[in-house]
């Protein structure tokens, strides 16, 4: 019986590690977003210091009307997805040299993943 439980445990762990299974926490991501909310909104298509983030996943960068983007972001041809947002959130100026975004980035991987989970649940 112990061997069967061990086999099931190994199978479950393998599935979790090989799939897109995420341990990200949107509740923790909401707290991380407190660093962002002075400049960005997630629930209204209203720009602040930065553009709103409503329906950001799958959107081309620098397309929100009435927001003045940097030339670097306008010419980037970025489509916002989990991978591009992860890189941008970690270090905006490295990912898009010349961006106007003054935020230095998040250094902790878990905070980035939590924030992305929150954005996925809130912005689409």
Domain ranges across the chain: 22-123
pLDDT at 124: 84
Q: Where are the alpha helices (DSSP H) in the chain?
A: 2-18, 26-32, 71-74, 82-90, 92-95, 109-123
| Token pair in block for residue 2 | 């112990």
Q: Give pLDDT, residue 81.
A: 97
What pLDDT is stored for residue 6 in this prediction?
A: 72
pLDDT at position 58 = 97
pTM of the predicted model as reported, rounded to 2 decimal places: 0.81
Q: Which residues of the chain have pLDDT under 70?
A: 1-2, 14-22
> What is the spatial distance between Cα 80 and Cα 93, in angstroms, rounded to a whole number?
16
For residue 47, what are its two tokens? 């720009």
pLDDT for 16 equals 63
Within 8 A by CB and 6+ apart from 60, the residues are 77, 78, 79, 80
Q: Is 79 helix (H, G, I), strand (E, B) or coil?
A: strand
Q: CATH assignment of 22-123?
A: 1.10.760.10
Query: What is the radius of gyration, based on Cα positions, of the chain?
Result: 18
């Amino acid at each position: 019986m112990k061997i069967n439980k061990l086999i099931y445990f190994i199978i479950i762990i393998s599935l979790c590690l090989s799939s897109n299974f995420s341990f990200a926490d949107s509740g923790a991501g909401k707290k991380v977003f407190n660093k962002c909310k002075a400049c960005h909104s997630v629930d209204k298509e209203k720009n602040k210091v930065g553009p709103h983030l409503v329906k950001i996943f799958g959107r081309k960068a620098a397309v929100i009307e009435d927001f003045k983007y940097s030339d670097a972001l306008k010419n980037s041809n970025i489509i916002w997805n989990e991978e591009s947002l992860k890189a941008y959130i970690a270090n905006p100026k490295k990912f898009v040299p010349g961006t106007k975004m003054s935020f230095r980035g998040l250094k902790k991987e878990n905070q980035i993943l939590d924030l992305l989970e929150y954005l996925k649940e809130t912005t689409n």
